[in-house]
A and B are shown apart, each in its own frame.
Chain A
């Protein structure tokens, strides 16, 4: 799990802002979010459904569709801003440098093309490759992700759920990108297959040296597979920390609640549903700290009025909470 943080980040997200323009008004789905993903690192992003984590995954790959709009910020991959790319530059950039694995493999695979065709067309869209050679590459990729290469001419409906997800991963690996976005990559699968595939993803990561932006609402997977974790609440990043640290010493009241409602790493699968109250309406979010209406330790005045920013509380550990901050001051003083 040793990650050298001295490297330049592969992905730098700065002050990202995403809005959904709905009939009811503007939903601020992602508000001023910044984070980095380093080489060979798994950065986990977690939070309740609707907190904006999937929106970030889609924003980073620039596949958001109206009514969602990126209204501010920068997304730098290897130093170039993805948001500034023109159509053709973006097309060339995609998949070569950054690929995405979707939640449901059944929906992510084109039902009328064979698995092989879907790998080959990714290769041929970027590298001028003769058909025969591309097919050989596809066979190798299937082998790597643990699918019998003889299934290359199978259609998605002829594969089992686990095999389909492996096929999607094979497509994601096709051009050996430096970064793979995984949006709930194993949610649709049963627990055994899930662990197995995550294990394999980790091995592939170590072998090829790519980074992963891992989106999930499954805490046990998150803590087990991420090197660092970002916790999101109501469109904001409220805590960022190495995963062991956040598990043992969460500092944001929301993170604490999540970790308390979560028995053990090896225990049964636990979704982040065990928090009383509903997430706020993002058309008109609460004033001050967005979590204060659901927070049991909120300070009457400050938390209702003043919006907390991410502050470093200990090395590599950032929290956006007035209480954690004052504690930090206390510790420091």
Chain B
């Protein structure tokens, strides 16, 4: 009898051997090769750079009165001035720094809670999973924005840190659900079984065997969380919950709305921050589409 050797290459398509010039993890390589993801990364990088070099881009203090009210864009104030005579360009540049920072931080808080909830539920199973899944589904279905509005109402103009924590505490469910199901799959895989047999402690298995194997999912959930957090924060700032004296894209829009910018035709006070918010949202969406296309080949165009 000949030794039987399983032959399972589908239609003669062996694993491709990638040629690498730079030593990057495979998934990073494929992200950079994906057009949608690259465009997203370029847009995001642009805004990060603008935020980092805000001081070099404009010398005008965004909170100082530097001109007449509602000046139209000119050489001196390239995006005009607000009703209070503050420079809109400088506000958009510095406001972006705060919005991006707070958005990313909140997204990170959200995903951190998602990871803890999702991995615990998925790995522990049993009644722990039952309970956490129930909790996840409840928080998934409760309307988040109204809940934050109510909490903010009781808090009486909460600071950014408070809003971030509240948003994190109620927005983790989506990520937790996705990560839980992936954990369930990985828990039954051979390498996890092997680690269990060797006697590795549970926390080590979760941190070093399971988590590294769902990096792309964690990254895409994190990006989704950042996007959600940014949009939610801007929305809350726009309706005047939180500290309206901090310059952010949301508060610029709040003041524009409150100062009747629409009725006076001062479009320069509300169009630029809106486009910036959309650009950030779009860049994050594109990056996630890219990741989705890479990990879900069915969506790829032939």
Where the two chains meet, the residues of A that have a C-beta atom closer than 8 Å to any C-beta of B are 20-24, 27, 29, 48-50, 52, 55, 66-67, 234-235, 261, 273-283
* Alpha-carbon distance between A203 and B38 when the two chains are bound, in angstroms: 60
- Check A21–B302 contact: CB distance below 8 A: yes
Closest chain B residue to A280 by CB distance? B12
- Check A29–B12 contact: CB distance below 8 A: yes
- Check A49–B2 contact: CB distance below 8 A: no
Across-interface contacts of A273 in B (CB, < 8 A): 4-7
- B13, CB-defined interface residue at 8 Å: yes
* Alpha-carbon distance between A322 and B42 when the two chains are bound, in angstroms: 59
Across-interface contacts of A48 in B (CB, < 8 A): 7
Question: Mask for B12-50, Cβ within 8 A of A = 1, else 0?
Answer: 111010000000000000000000000000000000000
- Check B7–A24 contact: CB distance below 8 A: no
- Check B12–A49 contact: CB distance below 8 A: no
Q: Could you name 18 residue pairs across A and B whose Cβ atoms are closer than 8 Å?
A: A21-B302, A22-B13, A24-B13, A24-B16, A27-B11, A27-B12, A29-B12, A49-B10, A50-B10, A55-B11, A67-B302, A261-B2, A274-B5, A275-B7, A276-B5, A277-B5, A279-B12, A282-B11
Q: Which of A21, A24, A261, A278 contacts B9 (CB 8 A)?
A: A278
Closest chain B residue to A235 by CB distance? B12
A300 to chain B, nearest CB (A): 23
- Check A278–B7 contact: CB distance below 8 A: yes
- B264, CB-defined interface residue at 8 Å: no
Across-interface contacts of A280 in B (CB, < 8 A): 12
* Alpha-carbon distance between A87 and B67 when the two chains are bound, in angstroms: 70
Query: What bracket does the count of chain B residues touching chain A fall in?
Result: 10 to 19
* Alpha-carbon distance between A253 and B74 when the two chains are bound, in angstroms: 85
- Check A279–B13 contact: CB distance below 8 A: no
* Alpha-carbon distance between A280 and B12 when the two chains are bound, in angstroms: 6
A174 to chain B, nearest CB (A): 31
* Alpha-carbon distance between A282 and B10 when the two chains are bound, in angstroms: 11
- Check B12–A276 contact: CB distance below 8 A: no
* Alpha-carbon distance between A129 and B185 when the two chains are bound, in angstroms: 49
Closest chain B residue to A28 by CB distance? B12
* Alpha-carbon distance between A281 and B7 when the two chains are bound, in angstroms: 12
Across-interface contacts of B302 in A (CB, < 8 A): 21, 66-67
Across-interface contacts of A279 in B (CB, < 8 A): 7, 9, 12
- B188, CB-defined interface residue at 8 Å: no
Across-interface contacts of A277 in B (CB, < 8 A): 5
B300 to chain A, nearest CB (A): 9
- B3, CB-defined interface residue at 8 Å: yes
- B245, CB-defined interface residue at 8 Å: no
Across-interface contacts of A52 in B (CB, < 8 A): 11
* Alpha-carbon distance between A281 and B3 when the two chains are bound, in angstroms: 22
Across-interface contacts of B12 in A (CB, < 8 A): 27, 29, 50, 234-235, 279-283
A216 to chain B, nearest CB (A): 16
* Alpha-carbon distance between A283 and B11 when the two chains are bound, in angstroms: 10
Question: Mask for B276-302, Cβ within 8 A of A = 1, else 0?
Answer: 000000000000000000000000001
Q: Which of B8, B12, B14 has the most CB of A within 10 A?
A: B12
Across-interface contacts of A27 in B (CB, < 8 A): 11-13
* Alpha-carbon distance between A50 and B8 when the two chains are bound, in angstroms: 8
Across-interface contacts of A234 in B (CB, < 8 A): 12
B295 to chain A, nearest CB (A): 16
Across-interface contacts of B9 in A (CB, < 8 A): 50, 278-279
- Check B4–A274 contact: CB distance below 8 A: yes
Q: Which of B3, B10, B16 contacts A276 (CB 8 A)?
A: B3
Besides A24-B16, A273-B5, A282-B12, 6 more A-B contacts (Cβ < 8 Å) are A20-B11, A20-B13, A29-B11, A50-B12, A275-B5, A279-B7
B56 to chain A, nearest CB (A): 43
Across-interface contacts of A283 in B (CB, < 8 A): 12
A45 to chain B, nearest CB (A): 15
Q: Which of A21, A23, A49, A282 contacts B8 (CB 8 A)?
A: A49
Across-interface contacts of A24 in B (CB, < 8 A): 13, 16
Closest chain B residue to A272 by CB distance? B7
Given A276-B3, A276-B5, is A281 in contact with B14 using a C-beta cutoff of 8 Å?
A: yes
Across-interface contacts of B7 in A (CB, < 8 A): 48-50, 273, 275, 278-279
* Alpha-carbon distance between A115 and B13 when the two chains are bound, in angstroms: 37
- Check B2–A275 contact: CB distance below 8 A: yes
* Alpha-carbon distance between A184 and B150 when the two chains are bound, in angstroms: 61
Across-interface contacts of A66 in B (CB, < 8 A): 302
Closest chain B residue to A283 by CB distance? B12
* Alpha-carbon distance between A151 and B245 when the two chains are bound, in angstroms: 71
Across-interface contacts of B3 in A (CB, < 8 A): 276
A156 to chain B, nearest CB (A): 23
A252 to chain B, nearest CB (A): 17
- Check B2–A50 contact: CB distance below 8 A: no
